[in-house]
Structure 1
Amino acid sequence: MKEIRFSENVARIDTSGIRKIFEAAGSNAINLGLGQPDFDTPEHIKAAAIEAINEGFTGYTVGTGITELREALSSKFREENGFSVSPEEIIVTSGASEALAIALATLLNPGDEVLISNPGFVSYNALTEILSGKAVSVPLAEDLTMKPEAVLERITPKTRAIVLNSPSNPTGAVASRADIKALAEIADDHNITIISDEVYEYFIYEGEHVSPASYSDNVITVNATSKSYAMTGWRLGYVAARKDYIGQMLKVHQYIQACANSIAQKAAYAAITGPKDSVNTMREEFRKRRDVLVKGLNELGMECALPKGAFYAFPRVSDSAEVASKMISNGIIVVPGTAFGSEGDGYIRISYAASMENIEKALSIMEKVL
């Protein structure tokens, strides 16, 4: 059999380091590596999906998404995020992952550069490379945020985008209003685009969530119902930007996806317009778990700053791979910081989107083996 010639862009990237960790762990391991809430989707959201099925709402929708959902999202951005987009400036996507992909596909020509935090979420680099772009690492400051001055130092004539993720996966850091404003000004001054990944916006414990689109229209805002409403498996995201961006992104969306899942769109409408009790409950529970986890880690001798958002702790360790491997062999799944970039060496990511019982059990095991 002759060897198949695959895409060089795809061949040069590796599969997710996070997935490799999960596959290596035993079936009874305590999973502190998973980036999804351990809560069920709220009942009123499930009921909306069931109603859609029973009413036969199971065909294609318009490519941009059902009108009522885009209208609700337009109101959400205005009321919660401080910027205005019309329903025509929103595309409903199959998760934030598709939104990120179509944003990058719209912006990049071969060799164009994207500034990405290091450490940062694994998809940013991979998608950039698949799309023939060049991922340029921006090391984080001591507080684990991406600073405007560090971004400025790395801008070249080939820079097309800055990916901003606040609250951050993997660090749990939250960017300050001053830094967000400065980054927006940099985008305007250099005519580059901020891709703002805001999927953890509702999970902030200290500080505030600030959308860069409230300061600049050179911004593509990416979000999803996945984390906020415990809907990771529903694969329902959305992207908002001014019309010239949307017109180009819609082309990519139409050819790779056609439209987001019709039933999930009805569920998302119920989520966006319905009560937020479940969001508040999750946030307060995550806050309690965070406090227990971080206190326990520091008592074990790990240096772990209190994360201000998301649901991840990012403690310092002597050797990322060694510590993660030792934990996995003792039945605790964590992710080595190196899975998120070279600057993640010396850290591990621990998710507190797990039960308090499992967090306390994991700390007890760590005390014995570390």
Structure 2
Amino acid sequence: MLELLADRTKLMDASGIRKVFALAADLKDPVNLSIGQPDFDVPQQVKQAAVTAIESGCNSYSQTPGLQELKDAVIAKETSRLHWDNPEVFISSGVSGALFLTFLALINPGDEVVIPDPYFVIYKQVINMLGGKCVFVDTYPDFRMTPEKVEAVVTDKTKLIIINTPANPTGVVSTEDELKGIADIAAGRGILVMSDEIYEDFCYDGPSPSIAKFYDKTILMKGFSKNCAMTGWRLGYVVVSQELKPLMNELAKLQQYTYVCAPTPLQKAAITALTVDVSEHVADYARRRDMLVEGLSDKFEFVRPGGAFYMFIKAPGNLSGTDFVTRAIENNLLIIPGGVFSERDTHFRLSYANSPDKLKKGIEILNSIA
């Protein structure tokens, strides 16, 4: 069977996370700080909106780009934030689906895509699968994607610059000055920018700015998986200015032949999700962030995260990230080696989307094995 597989499958590697869970298969009630999803439930009013939609017969295909009612609600929300006139909206099967379709629409073999290192895992894998070239911006040790670092790697083959703020896996939030500088570089060369802002609501030291506010050739991606805990609902959206409207036509074409449409009753419920106040959860996660920062600062080296719900921590001593994660798993703690998210294997990622009791246990285990 291996001989029959397409060559592109060899360009994708999921082995890092798989190895972690293979090592952890025999653990009983592990302290699991590996999962990147909220530990609270979907808000009740959103669940009820989905039930109502299903029971009222809203169960057919929607238009491929999404329900107009949901698109209008997204436009109302994002227009006030970005000050774009008449933006275009596309409803996707999660932000991951939006990323995949956008890469399909844009990347030709040989095209260069500038991405920060560390990075969200999908970026590298799909770009490689399509024959594109990942050009990594080395953001170590502070994990800041600065204009100077971007300028140093941009070439005539650069098709796209990817911004992820707040960032997975580092939790770093880009500043307005950084984004304005990157926008100036992109504008000077006519380069597209993709801004993945799925964690926008989870900011603890002030709001997260968007490069879309400064650059009209930005492909803005957001969704409902993190702020409303709707990870299994697979709903995201793309917003662009009128200048990039042709891209939206291509996304609709590609979705027609892949996902068809996002789940219709859940799109209906997402209209309610756009109105949900998540500030209580954000405050709770800020306290968890502070708990980890205080509990680990004596023995570990890390950048204090400003958003999302991850910490990207340097493995102690001369250990690689993989070696330290193996040691952690032997002590009933699940974390992810940094090499899954980076060209380096020097760090590990933990998620604080877990209960304070579990986080306390995780802190005790980490300090005991450092």
Give the structure 2 partner of residue 364 of structure 1: 364
Give the structure 2 partner of residue 311 of structure 1: 309
Give the structure 2 partner of residue 233 of structure 1: 232
Give the structure 2 partner of residue 352 of structure 1: 352
Q: How many residues align?
A: 362
| Aligned mates of 1:298, 1:342 — CA distance in 2 | 25
Give the structure 1 partner of residue 335 of structure 2: 334
Give the structure 1 partner of residue 50 of structure 2: 49
**Distance 1:280-1:82 versus aligned 2 partners, 3 A rule:** same
Instruction: Please state how far the C-alpha of 1:3 moved relative to its aligned partner.
Output: 5.5
Q: Note the 1:59-98 alignment, pairs <5 A.
A: 59-79=60-80, 81-84=81-84, 86=86, 89-98=88-97
2:3 matches 1:4: yes
Letter in 2 for 1:363: I
Instruction: Please state how far the C-alpha of 1:18 moved relative to its aligned partner.
Output: 2.7
Question: Do the aligned residues in 1 keep the contact of 2:91 with 2:235 (CA within 8 Å)?
Answer: yes
Percent identity of equivalent pairs: 38
Q: TM-score, normalised by structure 2?
A: 0.94
**Distance 1:141-1:348 versus aligned 2 partners, 3 A rule:** closer
Q: Note the 1:1-370 alignment, pairs <5 A.
A: 4-15=3-14, 17-25=16-24, 26-79=27-80, 81-84=81-84, 86=86, 89-241=88-240, 242-272=244-274, 274-276=275-277, 279-299=278-298, 301-318=299-316, 319=319, 320-343=321-344, 345-370=345-370
Question: Do the aligned residues in 2 keep the contact of 1:311 with 1:351 (CA within 8 Å)?
Answer: yes
Moved more, 302-311 or 51-60: 302-311
| Aligned mates of 1:334, 1:133 — CA distance in 2 | 30
Letter in 1 for 2:30: A
| Aligned mates of 2:255, 2:226 — CA distance in 1 | 22
Question: Do the aligned residues in 2 keep the contact of 1:174 with 1:207 (CA within 8 Å)?
Answer: no
| Aligned mates of 2:28, 2:71 — CA distance in 1 | 41
**Distance 1:16-1:236 versus aligned 2 partners, 3 A rule:** farther
Q: Alpha-carbon deviations, 1:218-270, whole Å to 9, x = none?
A: 11111110001111111100111131221222221221111100011012111
| Aligned mates of 1:291, 1:74 — CA distance in 2 | 35
- Segments of structure 1 that go 5 or more residues without pairing to the other structure are none
Instruction: Please state how far the C-alpha of 1:23 moved relative to its aligned partner.
Output: 3.6
Moved more, 198-207 or 238-247: 238-247
| Aligned mates of 1:147, 1:290 — CA distance in 2 | 24
**Distance 1:144-1:236 versus aligned 2 partners, 3 A rule:** same
The 4+ residue runs of structure 1 with deviation greater than 4 A are none
Letter in 2 for 1:260: A
Letter in 2 for 1:78: T
Question: Do the aligned residues in 1 keep the contact of 2:296 with 2:367 (CA within 8 Å)?
Answer: no
| Aligned mates of 1:27, 1:49 — CA distance in 2 | 35
Instruction: Please state how far the C-alpha of 1:153 moved relative to its aligned partner.
Output: 1.1
Q: TM-score, normalised by structure 1?
A: 0.94
Q: RMSD of the TM alignment (CA)?
A: 1.5
Question: Do the aligned residues in 1 keep the contact of 2:159 with 2:192 (CA within 8 Å)?
Answer: yes
| Aligned mates of 1:83, 1:221 — CA distance in 2 | 13
| Aligned mates of 1:217, 1:116 — CA distance in 2 | 19
Question: Do the aligned residues in 2 keep the contact of 1:128 with 1:135 (CA within 8 Å)?
Answer: yes
**Distance 1:359-1:113 versus aligned 2 partners, 3 A rule:** same
Question: Do the aligned residues in 1 keep the contact of 2:43 with 2:228 (CA within 8 Å)?
Answer: yes
Q: Alpha-carbon deviations, 1:119-167, whole Å to 9, x = none?
A: 1111100010112211111100542111111111111121100111000
| Aligned mates of 2:22, 2:69 — CA distance in 1 | 40
Letter in 1 for 2:231: T
1:161 aligns to what SS in structure 2? strand
